[in-house]
Amino acid sequence: MQSIFFITPRSLTLLTFLLVALFIYLAIRAFKGKRIDNHPLCKQCRYDLTGTNTPYTTCPECGHDISLPANLIHGNRQRRPYLTSLYLLFALFSFTPLTYQLTQSNLNSYKPLRLLLFEVTNPTWSFDDKAALSEIQLRIQGNHLSTAQANQLVSALLPYITTQSKLGKFDLLQTIRRTDDNYSLSNQTHLNIFNLIAADSLQGSIPYQSFGMQKRFCEYLNTPDIVSNTRLKHYAANLLNTLNTTDLKTITETQSKPVDPNIAPVALILAHRRNLLSDAQQQQLAQYITHYNFQGRAYRDKNTDYLYHIFSNYDNFVFKSIPYDAQTNLQLDPVGQYTYKTIGFNIDNLFYPYKDTYDQWSNIGYPHTIRFSGGGSSSSRTRLNRLPFKLKPAQSFSLVLDVEYTFTNCDTPIKTQITTQPQTLTYTQDLPDIQRITNNLDAEALADGIQFIAPDKNLHATRISNNTPHTQSIVYCKIDDIPSPRNPEWRTSISQRINSTIAINTPFAYHFYIEHDGKLYDTESTISSETGNTINYSTDKFKNIPTALVGKKVTVLLKPDIHKAQTFMLTDKILANEIRIPNVLIVEYIPATDTTPARISTEPHPPSSSSLPTTSSP
């Protein structure tokens, strides 16, 4: 029975109308009634003329002329109203299979594109604008549109992306992207798409990376037939003007951006590659690419003046999210590389030129070449006996750097001079005071988050996520380094990886000791963080581990290192809790020989009469 609901729509429609026509015919027959005699009747009023003298002239009831046979009918009829109603009910029921099938089918598939676009762009006049857009997407996917229709579609949808559309920007942009994927749109249509993204990128309002439009936008920028030099020059100038009104150094990753950080770098570097930026605009661009920061404090330790400083260089938000497709598919690497060199420093607004004799500045004094989207930081404690000025308790300090930016496929580098933000450099006649903070919650979190990861036989120590079970392990080796596998003339250190996978609220500085059978061994290794953030780094292997501890589990004791905080950190407080981490396995790295490969061993060594000295206190 139910198979009638699933025959083809055309066949079901024909069958439905045949049944309806049949039942309506039967209903009419029933309504007219069955003839029950053969009496002559007036055609006008149905008066029974039986007994009326013939020949008939006029109807005695209504006066109608009945002299002609055509004005007479024969036979009274008995109507059947119940049967009429039944036939009409059957006629209505005949629509049931067709109605069911229509409700289960997609009527949008029969609508022309213009009607679907009207429903999408005028949702108040549509029963379901999302269903209309889905039908459009199906036609795009199935290549059921002509090129003219594809251009018409994109042109119709573009104005509604920036408005408060009920469908949302995501759905509309996805539709446009799929259309551009499947059809050869005209340059004018591509230009219309570019204009939309360009306008929004100046407001940073649409994350086009989520919609797959960044690659397309970069392709438009790189196609002069779509984006001419004049148009690109104008767009780059608007980007620089927008950036000029914003202090980029105050913007964090989570804040709204004045421009789209995924698009602006590509446009600006392409404009520079085409020689469309003036000298002033090139200098403006160079100032936006990278930030430099210098922090430090000076103090006297054992009758010698020292400066501990941290110098960092990092890309601002504009150059942190370069579209991957722009680099790989367009062979466009807008981040390139840069070289910086310290040429001097400002002390209380007086400039002192850098000299090579200031060897304590060597880590930032010599040229450093770094790839963009990287950056880094360096820290150093250096003596101050060669600086051409005398330190005061507090002074304004900043570095002056010469920076050269070079870009892929571009013969014109940008050279500029950058001065770091002035910082207050303090100087004390003694070591800085460090406050010791007791915080049991932070200490417990740090104890749970510290990982000791020994290298494998290839000297690789893989970072382990906080939720991944692992064996706490410390490497022991009789030697400090081995010949590098890449170049025998180089040496590769035997290193120990230490991770702090949980951020806490208190700065910390700890010195590591190994405890076993009541004896304490100083490893001469430390861990520290000025912010309490997570840290992941490799350090030299722990020292002073007795051979007898290989294959055994020990307890690692972390004691607060005040001297470390005073001399190698920019903080005035550290966590005071001692931390114990039990069940740490000592493993041995056995280097390769001419006949055996390198390996990691937990086999204990035979007892030896010699032992390393122990310590009972740091």
DSSP 112-171: -HHHHHHHHH-GGG-S-HHHHHHHHHHHHHTT-S-HHHHHHHHHHHHHHHSS--SS-HHH
- How far, in Å, are 7, 11, 91 from residue 94 at the CA level? 15, 14, 5
Q: How confident is the model at residue 104 (pLDDT cuts 50, 70, 90)?
A: low
What is the pLDDT at residue 617?
46
Q: What are phi and psi of 110, to 5 degrees?
A: -95, -5
Angle at 466 between CA 465 and CA 472, to 5 degrees: 90
Longest dimension (CA), the chain: 156
Which residue do the tokens 């062979």 mark?
331
Cis before 546 (ω within 30): no
Give the pLDDT score at 466.
58
pLDDT digits (tens, 9 = 90+) for 1-26: 334 444 666 777 788 888 888 888 88
Higher-pLDDT residue of 397 and 374 is 397
Cis peptide leading into 55, omega within 30 of 0?
Answer: yes
User: Which range among 276-280, 287-291, 377-381, 410-414 shows the weakest confidence by mean pLDDT?
Assistant: 377-381
Asked whether residue 609 carries a pLDDT value surpassing 70, the answer given is: no
Tell me what percent of the residues of the chain surpass a pLDDT of 70. 81
Say if residue 117 is in the same domain as residue 197. Answer: yes
Instruction: Say if residue 554's pLDDT is above 60.
Output: yes
Task: State whether residue 353 is helix, strand or coil.
Answer: strand
Let me know whether 131 and 211 are in one domain: yes
Distance of alpha carbon 187 from alpha carbon 147, whole angstroms: 13
Number of domains in the chain: 3
Residue 448 three-state SS? helix
Last residue of a domain, one of 196, 224, 252: 224
Q: What is the identity of the amino acid at 18?
A: L
With a cut of 80, say whether residue 612 has pLDDT above it. Answer: no
Residue 359 counted as domain residue: no
Angle between helices 147-161 and 169-182 (to 10 degrees): 160
pLDDT at position 556 over 50: yes
Looking at the domain assignment, is residue 397 inside a domain? no
Q: Which two tokens stand for residue 392?
A: 């005061």
Spatial separation of the C-alpha atoms in residues 59 and 36, rounded to whole Å? 22
Per-residue buried b or exposed e for 32-62, using 16+ beta carbons within 10 Å of the residue's own CB:
eeeeeeeebbbeeeebebeeeeeebeebeee
Query: Which sign, positive or negative, has the C-alpha torsion 517, 518, 520, 526?
Result: positive
Provide the token pair at 494: 């035997």
pLDDT digits (tens, 9 = 90+) for 422-465: 999 899 989 999 999 999 999 999 999 899 998 888 887 776 66
Domain for residue 324, yes or no? no
Contact 141, 165 (CB under 8 A): no
- How far apart CA 469 and CA 155 sit, in angstroms, is 55
Residue found by looking up tokens 């069958």 in the block: 15
pLDDT digits (tens, 9 = 90+) for 243-258: 887 665 555 555 556 6
* Distance between first and last Cα of the chain: 92
Measure the CA angle with vertex 450, ends 378 and 562; round to 5°.
Answer: 60
Residues 6+ apart with CB under 8 A from 611: 546, 548
| pLDDT tier, 211 (very low <50, low <70, confident <90, very high otherwise) | low
Q: Are residues 79 and 119 in the same domain?
A: no
Residue 514 structure tokens:
């190994």
* CA–CA separation, 54 and 57 (whole Å): 8
Q: Is residue 405 part of a domain?
A: no
Q: Judge contact between 396 and 346, C-beta under 8 A.
A: yes
Considering the domain architecture, whether residues 185 and 99 belong to the same structural domain is answered as no
Residue 357: the pLDDT is: 47
pLDDT per residue as tens digits for the range 126-149: 777 888 888 898 999 999 999 999
Would strands 473-476 and 579-590 be described as parallel, antiparallel, or unpaired? parallel
| Tokens 């594809």, located at residue | 150
Same domain, 117 and 175: yes
Of the ranges 94-98, 365-369, 491-495, 604-608, which one carries the lowest mean pLDDT score?
365-369
- Which letter does DSSP use for residue 65 in this model? B
60 and 51 Cβ atoms separated by less than 8 Å: no
Contact predicate 137/178, CB 8 Å: yes
Indicate the SS3 state at residue 6. helix
Q: Confirm whether 384 is domain-assigned.
A: no
Among 75, 104, 133, identify where a domain stops.
104
User: Once rounded to an integer, what is the mean pLDDT over residues 574-584?
Assistant: 95
Decide if 161 is inside a domain: yes
| Gap between the Cα atoms of 508 and 435, Å rounded | 11
Which of 218, 133, 140 lies closest to 182 in space, CA to CA? 140
Per residue in 35-69, pLDDT (tens digit) is 888 888 888 888 888 877 778 888 888 888 888 88
Give ∠ CA 301-306-310 in degrees, rounded to 5: 130
Residues 58 and 120 in one domain: no
Same domain, 125 and 215: yes
Instruction: Taking each helix axis as running N to C, give the angle between helix 264-273 and helix 279-289, from 0 to 180 degrees, rounded to the nearest 10.
Output: 140
Instruction: Assess if residue 347 is contained within a domain.
Output: no
Judge whether residue 575 has pLDDT over 80.
Answer: yes
- Burial pattern 495-513, b for ≥16 Cβ within 10 A else e, equals bbbbbbbbebebbbbbbbb
Q: Which domain holds residue 35?
A: 9-104
Do 182 and 153 lie in one domain? The reply is yes
Give dist(CA 264, CA 319) in Å, integer. 8
Q: Which helix (H) or strand (E) holds 306?
A: strand 304-315
Instruction: Say what the pLDDT of residue 444 is.
Output: 94
Q: What is the DSSP letter of 411?
A: S
Q: Note the pLDDT tens digit of each residue in 151-206.
A: 999 998 888 876 645 556 778 888 888 898 899 999 999 999 888 888 877 775 55
Average pLDDT over residues 487-492: 82
- CA 28, CA 25: separation in Å to the nearest integer? 5
Q: Tokens representing 345?
A: 């420093």
- Judge if 553 and 529 occupy the same domain: yes
Residue 47 counted as domain residue: yes
Do residues 513 and 467 touch, judged by C-beta distance below 8 A?
no
Task: Compute the distance between CA of residue 18 and CA of residue 309 in angstroms, rounded to an integer.
Answer: 94
**For residue 499, what pLDDT band results from cuts at 50, 70 and 90?**
confident
Q: What is the pLDDT of residue 514?
A: 96
Long-range contacts of residues 456-460, Cβ cutoff 8 Å, at least 24 apart: 456/600, 457/589, 457/597, 457/598, 457/599, 457/600, 458/598, 459/492, 459/494, 459/495, 459/589
Alpha-carbon span 19 to 144, nearest angstrom? 36
Residue at a domain's end among 69, 86, 104: 104
Among 324-328, 402-406, 520-524, which range has the highest average pLDDT? 520-524
Reference 422, options 393, 398, 394; nearest CA is 398
At residue 103, does pLDDT exceed 70? no
Q: What is the pLDDT of residues 292-320, one digit of tens each?
A: 888 888 898 888 888 888 888 776 655 65
pLDDT bin (cut points 50, 70, 90) of residue 358 is: very low
Identify which has the larger pLDDT, 488 or 529: 529
Supply the mean pLDDT for the chain.
81
- The residue with tokens 């009789």 is 478
Q: Tell me how far apart the alpha carbons of residues 585 and 384 are, in angstroms, rounded to a whole number.
A: 43
Q: Are both 135 and 39 inside the same structural domain?
A: no
CA atoms within 13 A on the CB side of 553: 6
Shared domain for 482 and 564, answered yes or no, is yes
Together in a domain, 116 and 218: yes
Q: What is the mean pLDDT of residues 574-602?
A: 92
Tell me which range, 156-170, 256-270, 578-592, is most confidently predicted by mean pLDDT: 578-592
